[in-house]
Structure 1
C-alpha cells in the first residue's frame, strides 16, 4: 500500500511538472500585416470602385426622383385629384425602387468583400501557421486586441511579413 502511494505521488509530480511547462505565446499586428499585403490593397481599391459605382447609380435615381417630386409638387394645384393620386403612387414606387437598389448594393458589396478577402485571410493564416510551427509558438494572438492586459514576449509580426514577402 505504501509503494502504491509513493508511486502515485511520483506520477503526480511528473504530471504537474508537465502541466507547468511554459506556453510559448507571441503577438501579431494583424492589421499592420494585412495593410502591408498588396493583395489587400488591390482588394480595397476594387471594393471602393465597386461601391462608388453603386452609389453613383443610386444617386442618379434619387436625383431623378427629387426632380419629379419638385415637378409634381409645382403642378399639383393644376391637376385633378386622380392625377395627383397616380403621381403619389408613382413617387412611392420610385422610392421603393431606390430602397431596393440600396439594399441590393449592400448585399452585393458584402458578397464581393467576402469573396475578395477570403483568399487573403487564407494566405495570412497559412503564413501565421508556418511561422508558429517554425518558431515553436503554441499561440499567436492579435496584438490589436483589447483583451490583452500585458503585452510582453515575442512579436511574430516581422516573421509573418517575411513569410508573406511584404514589408
Structure 2
C-alpha cells in the first residue's frame, strides 16, 4: 500500500512600494526698465513655466514559494504493555502457572525421597558394614543425579510450554502492529520495551539495492 508522506510547507511573500513626487514652479511677468547687475531687455516679459510631475512606483513581489519535503512518519508502542492487556495473555499465564505447579510437585517428591535417604544414611552410617554403606551411597548419588536432571528437564519443559502458549499471542500482537503501520502510513514503529523497530515500511528495505551492488541475483 502506498502511503502519503507528511508535507512541510513554507511560504514567503515580500512586497515593497516606493514613490517620488516632483514640484511645480511658475514665474510671472518681469517689471519694466529694471536695472540689475544682470542686464535685461526693456519692455520684455519673461515667462517661465515648468510643470513637473514624476511618479514612480516600484513593486517587488516575490512569487510565493512552497517548499515540500517528504518526512517520515514514526510511531512507538510498548509491547509489554500491549501483551499485558490482551485477554489471551491472562489465560496463557494461568495455564503456565498450573503446568509449573505440576512439575514442582513431581520435583518435590524426588526431593523428599532424597532427603529421607540422606537422613537415614546419616543415622545408620556408624553401624553399617562397608558393603551396605557403599550401596546406600550409590543410591543417594543416583537420586541426586536424577534431581539435577529433573531440574534441567523441568526448566526446558517450562520454556517450551511458555513458547507454545505465548507464540500465538505474540504473532497476533505483531500482526496487529504491522497492519496499523500499513493502514496509517507509518514508516517505522518503535518498540520501547525491546529498544528495536517492530515495524518498518517494506520500501525502506535496502537489501535489493545491496544485492545489486554486490552483483548478487
- Same fold per superposition (TM over 0.5): yes
In the alignment, what sits opposite 1:134?
A: 183
Q: TM-score, normalised by structure 2?
A: 0.57
Larger RCO, structures 1/2 (Cα 8 Å, 6+ apart): 1
In the alignment, what sits opposite 1:95?
A: 144
Counterpart check, 1:77 vs 2:138? no
Structure 2: state its 5+ residue gaps: 1-66, 197-217
Query: Following the alignment from structure 1 to structure 2, what is the Cα–Cα distance between the partners of residues 144 and 34?
Result: 11
3-state DSSP of counterpart to 1:136: coil
Note the aligned Cα RMSD (angstroms): 2.1
Structure 1 segment 4-153 matched on structure 2, within 5 A: 21-145=70-194
Q: TM-score, normalised by structure 1?
A: 0.73
Measured after TM superposition, the shift of residue 74 of structure 1 is: 0.4
Structure 1: state its 5+ residue gaps: 1-16, 148-167
Deviations 1:31-78 (A, max 9, x none): 111001111111111111111111121112111110110011101111
3-state DSSP of counterpart to 1:39: helix
Alpha carbons of structure 1 residues 105 and 89: separation in structure 2 relative to 1, 3 Å:
same
In the alignment, what sits opposite 2:213?
A: none
- Moved runs in structure 1, 4+ residues, more than 4 A? none
Matched residues, number: 131
Bigger Rg, structure 1 or 2: 2
Measured after TM superposition, the shift of residue 88 of structure 1 is: 0.4
